[in-house]
């Protein structure tokens, strides 16, 4: 009974094992290495799709089914198990009779029985796992490739966002970030900025086109790179401006010397197609140490603006004194606009006399500022302020209106008022509404002269300028060239403009009493003017010796402190009514 029960239990175990193997689709096999056959269960036949059921199968059926590319490794795994007696484990592909490829995993234990090495093992289909893992690897590779592409794309976007596409240099955004990082972190002990503004860039763009301007920018960028230390951070911070960060510089003097060499390099010509373009650069320098670097760019900008105001190709270094000067200019700039609207700018008059008779033949109108707190302010303090504010033409207009009002008041009192001459800026002379405005003011012929600075009329002056000059002459307004000899007017320019008078600059007049060369030069200028039928006014007549010598040289009209000091309207009226013309020469 006990043996029967044990046999029954054993059969139950076998039945359960068979069910488990069927459920897991695991095939069981046995192979005696001394025999040319294997023992397969039904699931093995299913795995290999033999369509058969017999237990004993030729070993060739097994071997021939293995994929040719996997056979060598499968055989090596089998041989290794025989040699070592370890567990046999292998994974390979088989090719089914219909050509389908299936991935199998095989494991078996090796034991010796009757002197024969025998394997009993199992095989199961891992095709789904292999394909899943393959797909996972593929998806992982795709994801990694996308991540790399995204990183590269992000880097490109970041690079494009922080670099100038024309020059390839960092842009203002990158520059500001870099400066902020240096200010907040462990920056260098010393840091400086060279703030570079190109000269004549707008003129090049307007005259030669934007392609030419682009060539200039690229060329200047390369020259800046070549002219600063290798570890410098260079950026294009605006249309025609560059900034260079230089860490741990030697000294402020060395920085300025480097900047001056850089301005020389920027002066080199740039070729665009077959055209030579001339540019240059002005540079503002600012330096700081420690953590005081956040405001460096603003400081270098102040220095650059000062360099530009003083002329092209200059280098200016920021200092507390420069900042104070700027604050003063800004303060007077605000006061200027207020004063212009409140009528604080008034005309003063300086008499001009006939060189031979010493009779008054004209008056130059000079602007003065009656400041409510500072008193009378001379033009040297506010003319540049007016120009920087773009209000020089407004100042000209205000002084002209006041002078015409004074002249009208003098005329009503029966005074014989000579012509008055007023300065006119380039902006006002280019104004197409100038002639209409003068007509509204009731300007009469021979009442007025306009003094044009020599520096505003070039041989190639704008058409608006010459159109307005023609209109002024048609109204009976004389044209005078002011400060002749201080600028770049040519003989051709004089012929083209045909002024009624030209005023010789005081710098040419003052030395004639001590310099024969200057006297000969002045005589030559007067001879040229006479040949062109232009009257000559000498300004800066400081002494009676000057007056006599200028008269002998042929000057027509004299003006200066030896003749009369500038005076307000009331004083000028009193002098105009004096019987003695010499009363005009008031001595201080």
Contact of 275 with 307, CB cutoff 8 Å: no
pTM confidence score: 0.58
Q: What distance in Å separates the CA atoms of residue 546 and residue 328, rounded to the nearest whole number? A: 38
Query: How many CB atoms sit inside 10 A of residue 566's CB?
Result: 18
Q: What is the pLDDT of residue 207?
A: 80
The tokens for 462 are 């704008």
Q: What is the pLDDT of residue 14?
A: 54
Residue with tokens 């307000």: 568
Nearest by Cα to 193 from 295, 272, 56, 124:
295
Q: What is the pLDDT of residue 310?
A: 79
What domains are there in the chain, each with its CATH number?
Answer: 21-125 (3.30.450.20), 172-318 (3.30.70.270), 348-365+417-584 (3.20.20.450)
Angle (nearest 5°) at CA 120 between 118 and 122: 150
Confidence tier at 488 by pLDDT (50, 70, 90): low
* Across 518-540, average pLDDT: 92
DSSP string for residues in 280-328: EEEEEEEEEETTTTTTHHHHHHHHHHHHHHH-TT-EEE--HHHHHHHHH
Up-side HSE of residue 291: CA atoms within 13 Å toward CB? Answer: 3
Query: How many CB atoms sit inside 10 A of residue 300's CB?
Result: 26
Confidence tier at 487 by pLDDT (50, 70, 90): low
Q: Which of 50-59, 127-136, 273-282 has the lowest mean pLDDT?
A: 273-282
How does pLDDT run across 205-226, given as a tens digit for each residue? Answer: 888 888 888 899 999 999 999 9
Residue with tokens 């507390």: 320
How does pLDDT run across 358-399, given as a tens digit for each residue? Answer: 999 999 999 999 999 999 999 988 988 888 788 888 998 899
Query: How many CB atoms sit inside 10 A of residue 403's CB?
Result: 23
Q: What distance in Å separates the CA atoms of residue 244 and residue 291, rounded to the nearest whole number? A: 18
Residue with tokens 């009002």: 405
Nearest by Cα to 121 from 132, 107, 133, 111:
107
Burial class (CB in 10 A: 0-12, 13-18, 19+), 506: middle
How does pLDDT run across 88-98, given as a tens digit for each residue? Answer: 999 999 999 99
Confidence tier at 20 by pLDDT (50, 70, 90): low
Pinpoint the alpha helices (H) of 368-500.
Answer: 379-388, 392-412, 426-429, 434-440, 463-474, 491-497
Angle (nearest 5°) at CA 304 between 327 and 190: 95
Nearest by Cα to 255 from 309, 214, 337, 315:
315
- Nearest 10 degrees: CA dihedral of 573, 579, 582, 586? -40
Is the per-residue pLDDT at 165 higher than 60?
A: yes
Element (H, E) at 417: none
Q: What is the pLDDT of residue 240?
A: 92
Left (φ > 0), alpha (ψ -120 to 50) or beta: where does 343 sit?
left
What is the number of residues in the chain?
588
How does pLDDT run across 77-122, given as a tens digit for each residue? Answer: 999 998 888 899 999 999 999 999 999 999 999 988 777 889 999 9
The rounded mean pLDDT for the chain is 86
Is the per-residue pLDDT at 459 higher than 50?
A: no
């Amino acid at each position: 009974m006990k043996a029967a029960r044990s046999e029954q239990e054993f059969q139950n175990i076998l039945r359960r094992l068979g069910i488990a193997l069927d459920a897991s689709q695991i095939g069981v096999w046995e192979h005696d290495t001394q025999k040319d056959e294997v023992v397969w269960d039904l699931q093995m036949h299913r795995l290999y799709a033999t369509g058969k059921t017999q237990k004993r199968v030729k070993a060739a059926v097994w071997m021939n089914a293995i994929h040719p590319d996997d056979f060598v490794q499968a055989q090596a795994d089998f041989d290794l198990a025989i040699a070592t007696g370890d567990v046999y484990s292998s994974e390979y592909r088989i090719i089914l009779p219909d050509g389908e490829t299936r991935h199998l995993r095989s494991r078996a234990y090796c034991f010796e029985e009757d002197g024969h090495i025998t394997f009993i093992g199992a095989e199961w289909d891992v095709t789904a796992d292999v394909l899943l893992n393959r797909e996972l690897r593929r998806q992982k590779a795709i994801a990694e490739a996308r991540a790399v592409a995204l990183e590269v794309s992000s880097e490109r976007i970041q690079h494009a966002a922080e670099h100038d596409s024309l020059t390839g240099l960092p842009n203002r955004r990158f520059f500001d970030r870099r400066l902020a990082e240096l200010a907040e972190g462990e920056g260098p002990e010393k840091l400086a900025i060279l703030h570079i503004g190109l000269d004549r860039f707008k003129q090049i763009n307007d005259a030669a086109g934007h392609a030419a301007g682009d060539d200039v920018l690229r060329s200047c960028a390369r020259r800046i790179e070549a002219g600063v230390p290798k570890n410098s951070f260079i950026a294009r911070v605006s249309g025609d401006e560059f900034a260079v960060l230089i860490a741990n510089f030697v000294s402020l003097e060395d920085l300025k010397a480097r900047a001056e060499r850089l301005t020389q390099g920027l002066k080199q010509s740039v070729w665009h197609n077959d055209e030579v373009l001339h540019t240059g650069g002005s540079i503002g320098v600012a330096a700081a140490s420690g953590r005081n670097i956040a405001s460096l760019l603003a400081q270098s900008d102040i220095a650059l603006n000062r360099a530009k105001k003083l002329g092209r190709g200059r280098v200016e270094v920021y200092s507390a004194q420069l900042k104070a000067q700027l604050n003063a200019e800004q303060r007077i700039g605000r006061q200027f606009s207020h004063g212009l609207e409140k009528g604080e700018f008034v005309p003063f008059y300086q008499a001009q006399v006939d060189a031979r008779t010493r009779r008054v033949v004209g008056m130059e109108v000079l602007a003065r500022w009656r400041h409510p707190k500072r008193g009378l302010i001379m033009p040297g303090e506010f003319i540049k302020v007016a120009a920087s504010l773009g209000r020089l033409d407004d100042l000209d207009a205000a002084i002209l209106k006041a002078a015409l009002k004074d002249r009208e008041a003098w005329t009503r009192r029966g005074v014989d008022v000579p012509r008055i001459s007023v300065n006119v800026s380039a902006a006002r002379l280019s104004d197409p509404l100038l002639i209409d405005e003068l007509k509204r003011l009731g300007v009469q012929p021979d009442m007025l002269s306009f003094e044009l600075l020599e520096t505003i009329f070039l041989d190639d002056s704008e058409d608006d300028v010459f159109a307005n000059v023609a209109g002024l002459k048609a109204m009976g307004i004389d044209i005078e060239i002011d400060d002749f000899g201080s600028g770049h007017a040519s003989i051709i320019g004089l012929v083209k403009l045909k002024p009624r008078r030209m005023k010789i600059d005081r710098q040419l007049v003052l030395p004639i009493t001590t310099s024969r060369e200057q006297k000969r030069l002045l005589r030559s200028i007067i001879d040229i003017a006479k040949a062109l039928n232009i009257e000559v006014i000498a300004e800066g007549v400081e002494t009676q010796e000057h007056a006599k010598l200028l008269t002998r040289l042929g000057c027509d009209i004299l003006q200066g402190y030896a003749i009369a000091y500038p005076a307000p309207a009331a004083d000028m009226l009193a002098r105009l009514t004096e019987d003695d013309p010499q009363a005009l020469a008031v001595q201080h």
